[in-house]
A and B are shown apart, each in its own frame.
Chain A
């Protein structure tokens, strides 16, 4: 039970990051490897706002999502758009996003230095003892805000004009263009929304894991694994994949072998790619996003 509970906050983080991969993947067909570093950037901006400028948590969360969202748009404008206009093969775009990841990481290293920074939890990290199990307020906050962010995304996709355009492009890019949807704009929206999602994950995870310039690599990779396990490109799949991976890691680490936890995760990734590449939680590939 305790293992399961511990997996939930990590799972929520993985789910949010997995979503950010899926969103960009379906709407623009690109695997964006700088997603993990958007998480890091979000954490650092949140850290700066709360610790240096003494903002409170909620405005810092929102501001950081906006700033990192803008970074997402810049990435789309500077990298994706020119490459697409030159009809570059997808692999070039993927490599370019890897470049973005490395640049972002080094900029963070230059600004915030190499050492880990403490990001105090807005709700305190004293444990809540309920007979045999203990949970911290921060854990509850992570799960709640994580679910809230995912719900807002769902609302955005279903009921706003930009969201509908995004879904249209995801279904059929050509048809969407013919229907008068501005695909450049919808790409920008997808990058912005994904980056903002990443930023929220970063701020949520920062009080638990500290803030470091290379935190994006680990979280980004795990988020990607969660997306693939759940079904890359599917929103419910990504969410389920995130929570599944979080609890699985917690159980594997505690009950099987902590040293082999990552090996188990990646072995599962290979198994899924081998046996059910569309994802564990997807019955059939129908509507995307």
Chain B
């Protein structure tokens, strides 16, 4: 009885294996695919950023596949959640490379996570594009596999301080930054920019990720007589800092960088974040035709406005598609070469062009303020200068 079945089962297993292997071969010859791995925080304090990134990438991949935007290649995408944690991020990157066998990686959002992932992709020789990390040190590592479609913090810090001095007439500032790679690179850049512009930096306290009580540092800032506070961190922290500074009666002008540009900032911060000035690369209600088109499509699919990280991630997929088409290959080295030659694209957040260090120098940088439930454009500057 058992023996009979054993034979039968053996035959079935063999048949299944044959079908699978045939299907595998068929897949390779019929349609060429390029596998894109995505790493980002889909839970935790910056979940909105990671989820925006995921949604936009899915949208772009579907569009490109529908209109054959990557030549003969079909895009296939794999998502991993890193919770914004560098250790988890590096292991997620490893998993994408080892198990999912991806050809290229988009990630991560937290600069500290991206710095950890770069080591992995650099070693494996896989191109990595970060659409969310702005920490300046990322493109100072000399890692030829890394590209950035977010705006380097250096550009942002200069633009913000310049605006504070020239338009708002501010002479004494304080920085208040997260004690991680992102915040510390921001603090360094703000200090350098302040020195360059001749603005006095009177206090530069920091906070740890996950801190909820910012009053001690805010009191120090108050005592030093700063006219403006420049925050460099994510939206949950920024909202709490804004609230607590108002509670302490510290009514100075607040500035922030693109890392906190999420509608959740306005929801969490309420009245306290009204008038906050920050740099961004994307505003959903812009008059630009490309932006309008993207927002309409995104809204139709997800019933919400896209965040800047989503726009940058969306553009990143288009940059990859163009590179694949140009390289006509999925080999990492060919993809990398094609990426360095990116040109002639007009996308949602700019006209991408990579510098030798891997920074996208064709981006638009928007100086915006919070008014009511929205971000409002004050002026547009170019990242190239």
Q: Using a CB–CB distance below 8 Å, which chain A residues touch chain B?
A: 2-3, 6, 10, 109, 113-116, 118, 125-127, 129, 134, 136, 208-210, 212, 214-215, 218, 249-255, 258-259, 261-262
Chain B residues within 8 Å of A3, by CB? 216, 219
Q: Using a CB–CB distance below 8 Å, which chain B residues touch chain A?
A: 42-45, 47-48, 179, 205-208, 210-213, 215-217, 219-220, 236, 239-240, 243, 246-249, 264, 267-268, 270
Q: Are A250 and B249 in contact (CB under 8 A)?
A: no
Q: Which of A10, A214, A251, A254 has the most CB of B within 10 A?
A: A254
Q: Are B240 and A210 in contact (CB under 8 A)?
A: yes
Q: Which of A2, A252, A253, A254 has the most CB of B within 10 A?
A: A253
Chain A residues within 8 Å of B179, by CB? 259
Number of A-B residue pairs with CB-CB distance less than 8 Å in the complex they form: 85
A264 to chain B, nearest CB (A): 12
Q: Are A258 and B268 in contact (CB under 8 A)?
A: no
- Those 3 A-B pairs whose CB atoms lie nearest each other, nearest first: A254-B216, A253-B216, A114-B47
Given contacts A127-B247, A134-B247, A259-B207, contact A116 B217 (CB under 8 A): no
Chain B residues within 8 Å of A2, by CB? 219, 248
Q: Are A114 and B247 in contact (CB under 8 A)?
A: no
| Contact among A125, A134, A258 with B216 in the assembled complex (CB-CB below 8 Å) | A258
A251 to B216: give the CA distance in the assembly, Å. 7
| Contact among A10, A114, A118, A259 with B42 in the assembled complex (CB-CB below 8 Å) | A114
Q: Are B205 and A258 in contact (CB under 8 A)?
A: yes
Chain B residues within 8 Å of A208, by CB? 212-213
- Closest residue of chain A to B207, judged by CB? A258
Chain A residues within 8 Å of B45, by CB? 116, 212
A250 to B239: give the CA distance in the assembly, Å. 20
Given contacts A125-B247, A259-B179, contact A116 B236 (CB under 8 A): yes
Q: Are B208 and A262 in contact (CB under 8 A)?
A: yes
Chain A residues within 8 Å of B215, by CB? 6, 250, 254
Chain B residues within 8 Å of A250, by CB? 213, 215-216
Q: Are A258 and B219 in contact (CB under 8 A)?
A: no
Chain A residues within 8 Å of B264, by CB? 115-116
A113 to B50: give the CA distance in the assembly, Å. 13
| Contact among B207, B210, B247 with A136 in the assembled complex (CB-CB below 8 Å) | B247
| Contact among A109, A118, A209 with B270 in the assembled complex (CB-CB below 8 Å) | A118
- Closest residue of chain A to B178, judged by CB? A259
Chain B residues within 8 Å of A114, by CB? 42-44, 47
A116 to B247: give the CA distance in the assembly, Å. 20
Q: Which of A114, A118, A208, A209 has the most CB of B within 10 A?
A: A114
**A/B interface sample: 28 pairs, CB < 8 A:** A6-B213, A6-B215, A6-B219, A109-B43, A115-B48, A116-B45, A125-B243, A127-B248, A127-B249, A129-B249, A134-B249, A209-B240, A210-B212, A210-B240, A212-B45, A212-B236, A214-B44, A215-B212, A249-B216, A254-B215, A254-B217, A254-B219, A255-B216, A258-B205, A258-B207, A259-B205, A259-B207, A261-B216
A258 to B219: give the CA distance in the assembly, Å. 11
Given contacts A116-B45, A127-B248, A210-B240, contact A259 B219 (CB under 8 A): no
Q: Which of A118, A214, A259 has the most CB of B within 10 A?
A: A259
Chain B residues within 8 Å of A126, by CB? 247
Chain A residues within 8 Å of B268, by CB? 116, 118, 210
Q: Are A118 and B267 in contact (CB under 8 A)?
A: yes
- Closest residue of chain B to A217, judged by CB? B210
Q: Are B219 and A210 in contact (CB under 8 A)?
A: no
B304 to chain A, nearest CB (A): 13
B265 to chain A, nearest CB (A): 10
Q: Which of A212, A218, A258 has the most CB of B within 10 A?
A: A258
